[in-house]
Each structure stands twice: as structure tokens, then as C-alpha cells.
Structure 1
Amino acid sequence: MATTARLTLDPSFRIGPVEPRLFGSFVEHMGRCVYTGIHEPGHPLADADGLRTDVLRLVRELGVTVVRYPGGNFVSNYRWEDGVGPVGDRPARLDLAWRSLEDNRFGLNEFMAWAAKAGVEPMMALNLGTRGVAEALDLVEYTNHPGGTRMSDLRRAHGVDKPHDVRLWCLGNELDGPWQMGHKTAAEYGRLAAETARALKRFDPNLSLVACGSSNSGMPTFAAWEAEVLEAAYDLVDYISLHAYYDPSDGDVDSFLASGADMDHMIRSIAATADHVGAKLRSGRRLKLSFDEWNVWYQSRFHGESSLEWSEHPRLIEDTYDVTDAVVVGSLLITLLRNADRVGVACLAQLANVIAPIRTEPGGPAWRQSIFHPFALTARHARGEVLRVEPDCATIPTAKYGEAPALWATATHDAATGEISLFVVNRDRHGPCALEIALPAGLRPVEHLELADDDLSAANTADAPDRVVPRAGTGLSQAERRVTLTLPPVSWSIVRFAPSVP
């Protein structure tokens, strides 16, 4: 039986601008994300730099704007110097994060070459686990200084004459986590983050710096960690990070479909924590949030780093995503947009093979996973200002989050074109939803796509790469300033509206 819902689209109800950096991703030296993911010399489609051009094409189609590198847990034991200079002279190292052998064939300058070809902004992470302020300054000097100094001239000697001019830097990764190399207390990390930020701002006051927040909302120090870190570093950093992964493996499908409720709570909690510290310090600044790791991850299938055997570029957490996973990813993108006034950066983790929208086979094809599609369409059509959209709809009881709205929606308005794009998820597993949309005068629907399937476990594979794709929605009608349509159960949809032609 169909439920009914209503919502209103009004360009006057604005949340904030769509930040391009909301559509970021993440490349970590983990599993096959780098090696045989984005980089595979000898592949039939590799370019002269060993970069897979089929993957580059998919990255551009995905609409990724910024990519975080080189980790992740990997960065906390990483010596960036090992990944520059002649490839034949680079040392092999043990990666303690993922118990892998890292040969360093791909490093900083290779990543920057890839980022330029992919058309993405680099977001570099610094090792503040096993290293400190001096090593961070060396890396920034190597990366950003034009020349005439030891580190910048070393870069030029490595064949890169112009500086990379990286603007966005992460001050470590998940250092609240005891699994992290160089794990620290909030007091220890807060002081180190502040001292590193102070030095980097002395180098270039226009750098944007991200302090480590909690690894996830289940950490016992969640929010308390952020408060203590920001007491030390509030006026020196520009963002505080958030990380969240959502696991469907426990079989609680209704809670999984409502994962956006947890993400929304995290964002509001950390924004409130940051604002409290800012008020306490009498600061005139308002920090933004960097949600620089988020995705669906079947974590219960992964038995931890200690279960891994030492190997080189192993197949590691290469989850295959189905229709339900794609709907949840679409709902998390809606959540990020609904908080566009606070979230300035967000990174889907990761980009290739490792819990990723893009999968590859060594020497073989690359293909789009189901989660690729809501990301690509949102990145393509979310433009201008995010509008406040509050559906009047039924709720669904969930074990983890209580009563959750059956519909989760947001919209954007592009003042330059007059277009409005509506993004909406129907979380209800038991039936469709009849949605009535109240529109501003002079708009008409020009596109209606939905991602849904009678088989919620359907997924894309190398043999069937287009099993799950968005398809044209049916049953949409307009009567003056009212549009009605039916949203299938467990579905993600986009409806685009444009000014009527006179």
C-alpha cells in the first residue's frame, strides 16, 4: 500500500551554498586502491605515467572535486621521502597499518600528476603519528615552495619545476584511535596539532588545515576529544574532521536505511562542540567540518589488521555494493547537503577497489559500482544554494535511531539558470510513496531518474557492469504548480526542474 507525502520547494528557504569540496574522495595506500586501481603500468589502457585511463575517465564522470591522500591509517607510519625521486632508488617499507609491503613506486609527484589529469584538487595528509612538526614543514616546503631552498630544490631535481601549491592539509589521521601508529591523548594531539598549524601558517597563512576529530561516533571520547583538541587549536585550524562508516551486515535493514540520521546527529554534535569552544575562547571564527571519510562498509566481514598476512597490494575490503547500499549512499549525500552551512569538505572513502565506487581487475576492465550513480548525479546537478526541504511524511521505526522519516530529501537552486534539483530517498521497504511537490511559479520538470530494483541485492560486476543503473522514472505529472510522482520502495531519485520556455 502506498503512503503519501508532500514537500515544498522554495528558493527563499536557503541553507547555504553548495561547496564543491563536498564531492571529494579518498586514495589511500591500502589494498588495491593505488596499485592496479588508479596506477597500473603495463595495463593496455595505461598512459605513459602508468595511470589507468579507463579509471581516469570514470573519476571524471563521477564528478570528484578533491581527493585526500595518502591516508588514512597508512599515513601515520609513512615517510613521504620514500615516495619521491628516481623510482629505482626508492626503498621498500613495511606498512604497519594494513600489514602490507609498500614498494613506493607511486608517491607524491605521481599522485599530483594523477590529480592534474583527473581534474581534482589534492588534499594532503601529514604524518603526525610517528613524525612531527619538522617533517611536516619539510613536506610542505617540498610541495609548495617555488625554489631556492633545500626541499624545494630537491623537488626540482626530481623533475617537478613548479610547486604543487596544495591548499588543503590534514593534521594527521584518527589519532584518537588506539589502532593508529602514534596514537595520542586529546591533550597530546591538541598540542601537536596547534604547534604544527602555527608553523604551517607561518609558512603560508592561507593554507587550510584540518584537525583530527573522533574516528567515529562510537568512540568513548566522542565530542570530548574535539572539545579538548579545539581548546588548543581552535584559532589555528580551519576544519575539524568527522569519519563514519555504515555496516549493513547485522541484518537491521530499517536502521541501515536510516543511517543518515546518525550522520546528521554527528554533524550537529560536532558543530555544537566547536561553537561552544569558540564561544568559550571568545573567538570571532566559526569552524567548518571536514567529513573526510564516509561510506557504506561491511566492517563485520573484516577481521582486523592482525588477521592479515604480510603481502604486496592485497585484495582488501573490496566490498560489492547492491541497490540498498546505493540508496543509503544517496541518503548520506542528502545529509551532507542538508548541512551545507557547516560541512565544507567531504570525502567518499575510497575511490578505487577498496570500499569504492569504482572497481578494477588487473590487466582487465574497470566498472561502476551501484554507489557510483547517486554520487555522480548529485555531483553533476547540485549547484548554487541548498534549499531547506522538510517532507511531510510517515515515519519508520528503527532499532538504532528511533522514528526516522520515510522520506529524506534536499534540493538545490541554481540562480544563474533558475533550475532546481530535488534529491529524495524513500526508505520504506514495504511500499511506494506518492509524493506531491509544491513548486515556485514558472518551473516544469525536465528530468526524472530513479535508482530502484525489485531485487535489492542486485549489484554490478565485471560481467554485468550495468545491472544497476538509474532509469527514467514513470508516472510524473504536473498540474499548474503541483507535481506528483510515485517513489518506489527503497529508492533514490532525482527530479530536475527548469524555467518554462516563454
Structure 2
Amino acid sequence: MTTARITIDRDFTIAEVPRRLFGSFVEHMGRCVYTGIYEPGHPQADSRGFRRDVLELVRELGPTVVRYPGGNFVSGYLWEDGVGPVEKRPRRLDGAWHTVETNAFGLHEFVEWAREADVEIMEAVNLGTRGVEEARALVEYANHPSGTYWSDLRRQNGAADPFDIKLWCLGNELDGPWQIGGKTAQEYGRLAQETAKAMRFVDPSIELVAVGSSNRQMPTFGTWEHTVLSHAYDEVDYVSMHAYYQEHDGDVASFLAEAVDMDAFIDGVVATIDAVKAAGKHTKQVNISFDEWNVWYQSGLDTDDQPHVITAAGQWREHPRLIEDTYNVTDAVVVGTFLNSLLRHGDRVKIANQAQLVNVIAPIRSEEGGPAWRQSIFWPFARVAQLARGRVLRLAIDSSHVSTKRYGDVDAIDAAATWDEENGTIALFLANRSLEEAGDLTVDLRGLGASSVRSAEVLTVPEDGDRKSANVADDQDRVGLVPLRDVDIVDGAVRATLPPLSWSVVVLDVARA
């Protein structure tokens, strides 16, 4: 059995829990929009074509902010195509995902959907094939009340009131050679600076995210952020991060430890931001928007739902199946550790978006004309979004180790915790990375007294399953949360036994000692 001791002191905290940390992402890619959130004619569709079964699951998942409309898609997108009468909207070829975009769903539809889902909008502008004027015009269309060309066009298109979108992305992954209109750091830094200025001339209240490196393995990682921020530091509020992880060649131990890489990636970007701040003698603080993250099996699954296979076939189709990964128990535990990493960096990571919301590497799956269901990764996200309130606690952890090829020895027990003083609760988010051994956990509280265990749940391997057990259309509840039985308060300390390969959440009733 592995062992771990966690010490919590009420006076050692990291930051207020950033509510935008629990974001998601809707891109015009595959079946995320069409037959995902939007499917006119579906038995569960409302009069606007929004799938009510999917909306119900989205509300249960609990995202606070949703990034839209891309992603790679946005770098070739003409936002004007998605407004006005649907029957007059043009059909376009989308080079990012080699599909046909019908534009039946656009900005007005997404704003209405976001209101139904009760999420904040994070709108991305095209800085691949377009630039300053198109971005400035979009802000005017979305946020200016009336009396100008673009605002009056919005009103003519049926929205008398402004959309009041406050959070904007200045493009997407423009350091990547795969990106339509990719740029050097110098080119992008100047474009981002001037676009930000023009957008803020229209609406000074907006917040802006500059494009950071597409991943930590990019050859320009670090120098890209430094160059971009050297131009645009004073004009932006955040710099973006993107990261995807998967299990390689059966190396499950390293896969379960990928949050170690996420921690290091965040620390590296923070260091670069602060170096630019110091060198430029800036007074404001730029923070991080980790606006794409998830498990994504980018290799080893060369089926007909992979973009490069479809592109090679030369087919142009409307919303084909793209990267519809089926997530298992192992993936859910890894996603739980990613959420822990984001919480541990809540002083600097203020926005995060799991990519994507429905069907495309998503916690929610749906079938055209058929059901919608929760994938295994739904549960850690839903519970953290629901229960992480108040302040993120700074934990002292002494844990047994597991050995990995990629990261050496890592803690067997990964943890994060939040303290909601107003409601008198501590939420513990716990992952046991050991494949074989249960974890014997002790949590010592200083300055706080635990009176009872309010709730305790665990996601682990089903009794009749294995670590690759997953939820599918005809078996939608195979993997989920069940009660964590072996947890109690003994002599003021919390004691729990965490099953092998598991993610758990424990909520304690506490009061100041």
C-alpha cells in the first residue's frame, strides 16, 4: 500500500479560486457544433435547433466560460458569414479541418446558446487571414449599442441589445506551421498589439488574450512568448497555453504523471511573462489563459476520424466525425490531475478551457438523431467545477512514489484542495496514480477543525472491468462516481483509503479552530 500525508494550514493559501478556470471550448470542427450542441430535427431539439439533452448535460458539467469559434477554424473564418438570414449565408471550404462549413450556426446562435447554457463567451478573432479592421468591426458589431453601421446591422439581424462579450482571443496558434496564416513572433506581436489597441478603442472594458506557444515542444517555445509580449505586454491581459497528452506505447505510468509536465509548462510561461514585465518596467500583471487542454490520442488511432486521413482521401464533407476519442478510467484519472495542476497555479492561471465540449475530444458525446451521454472525463471536471470554491489551499504533501520512464519518481498521490470559508467546507481532489496499490491517506488540518465528512466519491475501475473501461452509447453508465466508503475523521485528522488508479473528491465540514 502507498502512503501519503497532506498538511493543510488555513493561513497558507494560493489565491481565490478563479471561476473562469472551469471553461470549455466549442469549435466549428467535426460534430462539436452540428449534431453536437445544434441539431434541428432531433427529437430533443428546441425551436432554435439546440439539443436540450446536450444542454442539460452541459449545465450538469458546469463550464463557466466557453471559447468560440476556434481553434484552427478561426484562422480562416469570416465572421460575417455567420450572421444575417441563414438562407443567405454562404457555404465555405474550411481548410483547417478539410470540411464544408454551412454557416447555419454563427454568432447570434452561439450567443443564444450560451445564454441557455449560462456560460460566459470567450470569442476568438481571425488573425490568420484577416487583421485589425475585421477584429475591430466584430467588437463594434457585438458590443456597441447602436447608431453605427456594424451595431445597427446587429440590430437589423434581430439583436437589439449588445452581446457585451468581454473576453477575446487575439487569434489561435499562429506559431504553428499548420495554422492558416501562421506568423513569426515578430509579425504576430506587432499585429496583436495593433489589433488590441483598435479593439479597445471600440470597447475599453474588454479583456484580451495573446497567442502563446501551441505546445511546450514547439522549437520557439519561450522565445515566442518573450517576443510577443515585448510588443504587446501593455495591450493584453493574458497569454495563452495549449497542451494535449496521451498514453504512448503502453507507458501508463508516465501518462498518469503528465501533470508534472503541465506544472513545468505553466512555471516556464510564468517565468517568461515576469521576465518581460521586469525588463520593460511594466506595472500591470499579465496572467495565463490555458485555453486548450485535454487528453487527445493524436497518434496510434489512425482511423477514418483522424484529420490527416480524411485530408489524404481528398473528401470535403459537412461535419464529419473528427477525433471522437472514447475516454476510459485511466484518462479520467489523468484529467483529474490536470485540474489539480490548474488549481495549484490559480494565482497565475486565471482562465482554462478543456477542449472540446461535445463529441470532439469531449466529456459529452452525442449521436445524430440519438442519445447523448457522459464520458468518464465528465466526472472530475463536473465535481471540481461544482465544489472548488473560496480559496485554493497550499498543500504540503509527503507521498510514496511511483517510478516513470519520462519523469522519474513522482508522488503516488496527487492532490489539490479548496477552502470555502463562507460555507464552512474543504474540498479535497485526490488522484491515486498507482496501478496496483491502494493509497493510505492522512490529512492533517491546522487552524481548522473537521466536524464531519459531508460527501466522498470515487471514480475507479468497475468491479467487472479494467483500466480501459469506458462509457459508450449502449452502456452509458459503466464508468462514474460511486461512494468512497473508507474515509473518516480520527483524532481530528482525515483518514482515507484511495483505491488503485482512482480519482476521488472528499468534502469536509470545517470550522476555524
TM-score by length of 2: 0.96
Are the counterparts in 2 of residues 5 and 435 from structure 1 also a CA contact under 8 Å?
yes
The Cα shift of 1:297 comes to: 0.4
**Alpha-carbon distance between aligned partners in 2 of 1:286 and 1:307, rounded to the nearest angstrom:** 45
In terms of mean alpha carbon deviation, does 360-369 or 449-458 score higher? 449-458
Q: Percent identity?
A: 58
Partner of 2:294: 295
Q: Deviations over 1:54-88 (max 9, x none)?
A: 11110000011000000000000000000100000
In terms of mean alpha carbon deviation, does 366-375 or 395-404 score higher? 395-404
Q: SS state of the match for residue 20, structure 2?
A: helix
Q: Deviations over 1:200-250 (max 9, x none)?
A: 122222210000000000100111100000000001100000000001243
Q: SS state of the match for residue 340, structure 2?
A: helix
Q: SS state of the match for residue 396, structure 2?
A: coil
- Where do 1:293-442 residues align within 5 Å? 293-300=292-299, 301=301, 304-305=307-308, 306-307=311-312, 309-439=315-445, 440-442=448-450
Partner of 1:444: 452
**Alpha-carbon distance between aligned partners in 1 of 2:118 and 2:296, rounded to the nearest angstrom:** 27
Are the counterparts in 2 of residues 390 and 409 from structure 1 also a CA contact under 8 Å?
no
**Alpha-carbon distance between aligned partners in 1 of 2:89 and 2:339, rounded to the nearest angstrom:** 39
The Cα shift of 1:195 comes to: 0.4
In terms of mean alpha carbon deviation, does 431-440 or 170-179 score higher? 431-440
Partner of 1:109: 108
Partner of 1:170: 169
The Cα shift of 1:441 comes to: 2.0
Residue 214 (structure 1) aligned with residue 217 (structure 2) = no
The Cα shift of 1:291 comes to: 0.2
**Alpha-carbon distance between aligned partners in 2 of 1:265 and 1:336, rounded to the nearest angstrom:** 12
Could you tell me which runs of 5 or more consecutive residues in structure 1 were left unpaired when the two chains were aligned: none
Partner of 2:504: 493
In terms of mean alpha carbon deviation, does 454-463 or 171-180 score higher? 454-463
Q: SS state of the match for residue 264, structure 1?
A: helix
The Cα shift of 1:429 comes to: 1.2
**Alpha-carbon distance between aligned partners in 2 of 1:8 and 1:196, rounded to the nearest angstrom:** 47
Are the counterparts in 2 of residues 101 and 313 from structure 1 also a CA contact under 8 Å?
yes
CA root-mean-square deviation? 1.3
Q: Which amino acid aligns with 2:484?
A: G
Q: SS state of the match for residue 74, structure 2?
A: helix
Aligned residues: 501
Q: SS state of the match for residue 110, structure 1?
A: helix
Are the counterparts in 2 of residues 359 and 368 from structure 1 also a CA contact under 8 Å?
yes
Q: Deviations over 1:270-323 (max 9, x none)?
A: 000000000000001111100000000010025554335211100110000000
The Cα shift of 1:349 comes to: 0.2
**Alpha-carbon distance between aligned partners in 2 of 1:288 and 1:438, rounded to the nearest angstrom:** 32
Are the counterparts in 2 of residues 444 and 500 from structure 1 also a CA contact under 8 Å?
no
**Alpha-carbon distance between aligned partners in 1 of 2:452 and 2:224, rounded to the nearest angstrom:** 48
**Alpha-carbon distance between aligned partners in 2 of 1:438 and 1:289, rounded to the nearest angstrom:** 32
The Cα shift of 1:480 comes to: 2.3
Q: SS state of the match for residue 9, structure 1?
A: strand
Partner of 2:187: 188
- Where do 1:63-212 residues align within 5 Å? 63-212=62-211
Q: SS state of the match for residue 197, structure 1?
A: helix
Are the counterparts in 1 of residues 143 and 203 from structure 2 also a CA contact under 8 Å?
no
The Cα shift of 1:438 comes to: 1.0
Q: Which amino acid aligns with 1:391?
A: I
Q: Which amino acid aligns with 1:452?
A: T
Q: Which amino acid aligns with 2:168?
A: W
Could you tell me which runs of 5 or more consecutive residues in structure 2 were left unpaired when the two chains were aligned: none
**Alpha-carbon distance between aligned partners in 2 of 1:76 and 1:464, rounded to the nearest angstrom:** 38
Residue 481 (structure 1) aligned with residue 489 (structure 2) = no
The Cα shift of 1:486 comes to: 0.6
Q: Which amino acid aligns with 1:471?
A: V
The Cα shift of 1:442 comes to: 4.3
Q: Which amino acid aligns with 1:53?
A: R
**Alpha-carbon distance between aligned partners in 2 of 1:3 and 1:100, rounded to the nearest angstrom:** 49
